[in-house]
Amino acid sequence: MGDELDDHLSQGLPKRRRALGFLKMAYECGIHGLVNRSITDKLLAESGHTFHIGTDDPQMRRIASWLLTHYPEAVEELVLRCWKRNGREDVKLVGLLIANTEGDAWTRFLSLLRSREPMEVILDISEEIKRSGRDIPSAQFLVEWSGKSRIHHQAVLLIASLEMRSDLRAVVESAPSGGELFERIRARALGE
């Protein structure tokens, strides 16, 4: 006997615009809204996301796995459309899809960044890419990306902090200042 998510996914991914609505319904499968509502409302207000349902990691991994298995040809378009819609579950799904497809995941991720991104999103997706078995990029790669914008430079610091190497020290030291958590990550990366 299947569960609510299996039943929903068995309908198949609709084409084009309806695909995003289908995915949002998948995020909601098995979620008890009233239980999560106060937590997700607070997180939503602070994050800048268009929605935050509270879908857990195992369910998000099931959705990503289903897409990668049954609809690999749709993944690239879904990455762009989900990132643009900017729901919390959308960006989590983007991270899972980027991390688990062929190609240069770091470049794909960094090229998506907007002028403002929650640090939690950058860290979450960076950790997912590293967890997929990819190495932290070279210092040269990170320096090139750090020059694109303030958010890219801060993202590079977060990426470098996942595996602090001596060749990345200058990138971490030169990143623009951020909030308290960001500065704690920088200090930890530099061993201070």
State the DSSP string of 41-103.
HHHHHHH--S------HHHHHHHHHHHHHH-GGGHHHHHHHHHHH--HHHHHHHHHHHHTSSS
Query: Mean pLDDT, to the nearest integer, of 171-187?
Result: 89
Cβ pair 110, 137 in contact under 8 A: no
Last residue of some domain: 73, 102, 131? Answer: 102
Q: Are residues 91 and 118 in the same domain?
A: no
Mean pLDDT estimate for the chain: 89
Query: Distance of CA 16 to CAs 6, 97, 98, Å?
Result: 21, 18, 20
DSSP 3-state helix, strand, coil percentages of the chain (rounded to 5)? 70, 0, 30
Residue whose entry in the numeric block shows the structure tokens 């099931």: 62
Query: Distance of CA 162 to CAs 39, 64, 103, 128, 131, Å?
Result: 28, 23, 20, 11, 10
**Sign of the torsion formed by the C-alpha atoms of 136, 139, 145 and 148:** positive
What confidence tens digit (pLDDT) does each residue in 58-88 have? 999 999 999 999 999 999 999 999 999 999 9
Q: Are residues 18 and 90 in the same domain?
A: yes
CB atoms within 10 A of CB 40: 20
What confidence tens digit (pLDDT) does each residue in 88-137 have? 999 999 999 999 999 999 999 999 999 999 888 999 999 999 999 999 99
Q: Are residues 114 and 66 in the same domain?
A: no
| pTM of the predicted structure, to 2 decimals | 0.88
Cβ pair 126, 158 in contact under 8 A: yes
What confidence tens digit (pLDDT) does each residue in 7-34 have? 999 999 999 889 999 999 999 997 765 4
Among 92, 90, 88, CA closest to 36: 88
Q: How many domains does the chain have?
A: 2
Domain of residue 122 covers 104-192
Q: Are residues 91 and 124 in the same domain?
A: no
Q: Are residues 118 and 83 in the same domain?
A: no
